[in-house]
Structure 1
Amino acid sequence: MTSAGTRENPGAEADVSSSPGAGFWSGRTGQRILDAISAFARFYMAYVWISAGIPKLNDHMNMTQAIAAYEIFTPYWSDLLARLIGPLEIAGGVLLLLGIFLRQSSKVASWVMVLFIVGVASAWARGLAIDCGCFNIEPNTDGQAMDYLITILRDLVFLALSLWTVYRPFKRFALYP
């Protein structure tokens, strides 16, 4: 049998239960579980991007200082990035939420997560005591630096969710997947 049916009944569904790789994930329940993971990945990352971007909209000075603390960018670029990051994060979250260009926006989100991970790892390797400026950009007044390992692990989870959406986007309720 082929997936197109049989010679006698060309429109019939093929029996794939005996094919290699068939099993739990190819059944109706398995597909529902994969759909649930895809829905969670899409909508949770939309929430992450929007909630990370909103605080950055009205706190330009603290955002500029958070970016400058990485000691990667010039003051000009720190200022420019502080103006762009918040609106771009919100735009990415809205694209995911509305289901517009799901794979493309998730690819961009994946690359951004990789850049965030590299930036945090670079600051950690150079012994900088900074706050990442990810979700809360208020200055850290207690003198404690962020937990670099926890931040990198969190961002790896976000990267995995973004990559999941690249390869298996949840297209239900999507305006233009």
Structure 2
Amino acid sequence: MVGTAVRLGLALVWLVSGTIKASNQLETTVAVHAYQLLPGEVADVVAGVLPWFELTLGVLLLMGLGVRQVAVTSAMVLLAFMFGVAQAWARGLAIDCGCFGGGGAVAPDQTSYGTELLRDTGFLILAVWLVVRPRTLLALEHLLTPGEDQPQGGGGHRRGAEE
């Protein structure tokens, strides 16, 4: 049950974040540019693709397809986001992360880098959980490939049980 809650929770994060970003492409573009990490054209492409990439991760997790692979990808994306926030903080940029809408320049006292990094660390823990224990209830991947749902190692597990 814990694994299923973790999978659905991380799916919800990606679905909410992606939906907010997709619904206001201009805000998303401003947020990506605010990090001052990418050349303008590259930042535009990242801003255009990011919402749909997040939505794809969310849908795959929601459906329970490629859970381990999506969790690895999620962890890499979250680490990239955390790097972006940390470098903005270290460089003294005053920006809103744009993680769940908004983004761009803010007054220096309006930044919340520590909170953002802590939140993303929590999301990263969810992703790592799914990398280690991808077997969850209500996951379509186990219905589509029943021969591959045997738990790895450590006998004592029954076939079909959530890890």
TM value normalised by structure 2: 0.81
Equivalent residue number for residue 64 of structure 2: 99
Name the SS of the counterpart of 2:96 in structure 1: coil
Contact kept in structure 1, 2:60 and 2:70, CA below 8 Å: yes
Contact kept in structure 2, 1:42 and 1:170, CA below 8 Å: no
The change in CA–CA distance for 1:138 and 1:65 in structure 2 (over 3 A counts) is closer
Hey, which of these two has a bigger chunk of helix by percent?
Answer: 2
Alignment deviations for residues 131-166 of structure 1 (CA, whole Å, 9 cap, x no partner): 101002266777753310010010001000000011
Amino-acid identity (%):
37
The change in CA–CA distance for 1:75 and 1:135 in structure 2 (over 3 A counts) is same
1:89 pairs with 2:54: yes
Name the SS of the counterpart of 2:140 in structure 1: coil
Structure 2 unmatched runs, 5+ = 143-163
Alignment deviations for residues 81-105 of structure 1 (CA, whole Å, 9 cap, x no partner): 1110001101000000000000000
Instruction: Give runs of ≥4 in structure 1 deviating > 4 Å.
Output: 138-144
Structure 1 unmatched runs, 5+ = 1-35
Equivalent residue number for residue 30 of structure 1: none
Give the letter for the 1:122 counterpart: Q
Count of aligned pairs: 142
Higher RCO structure (Cα 8 Å, ≥6 apart): 2
Query: 1:97-176 alignment to 2 at 5 Å?
Result: 97-137=62-102, 144-176=109-141
TM value normalised by structure 1: 0.75
